[in-house]
């Protein structure tokens, strides 16, 4: 009959706890990555909406710089392209 060798109960508990902690952390990382992915899609959507709105404003007011603190704006002077 073969003799079964074992680590101590405390050692088994320690290594089991480490494995559970690692599994929890990896699960949390997966959750955070999923949240990050969703947030990046939201950022892209807000950027797209912002760019579309900027085009609407440009059609109405022309090329302008807007002061976001009060809504005032100044026109951007266009320099004509010089042909050579």
Per-residue pLDDT of the chain (84 residues; tens, 9 = 90+): 899 999 999 999 999 999 999 999 999 999 999 999 999 999 999 999 999 999 999 999 999 999 999 999 999 987 877 454
Beta-ladder partners of 28: none
Looking at residue 82, its pLDDT comes to: 47
Tokens found for residue 58? 């440009």
- Residue recorded with tokens 């952390």: 25
Beta-ladder partners of 66: 73
Looking at residue 81, its pLDDT comes to: 73
Looking at residue 74, its pLDDT comes to: 96
Phi, psi of 74 (to 5 degrees): -125, 145
- Residue recorded with tokens 């579309």: 52
Residues in the chain: 84
Looking at residue 13, its pLDDT comes to: 98
Looking at residue 78, its pLDDT comes to: 79
Phi, psi of 68 (to 5 degrees): -70, -15
């Amino acid at each position: 009959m073969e003799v079964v060798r074992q680590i101590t109960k405390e050692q088994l508990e320690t290594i089991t706890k480490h494995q559970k902690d690692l599994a929890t952390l990896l699960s949390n990382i997966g959750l955070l990555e999923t949240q990050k992915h969703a947030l990046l899609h939201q950022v892209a959507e807000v950027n797209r909406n912002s760019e579309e709105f900027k085009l609407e404003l440009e059609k109405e007011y022309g090329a302008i710089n807007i002061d976001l603190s009060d809504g005032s704006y100044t026109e951007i002077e266009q320099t004509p392209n010089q042909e050579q």
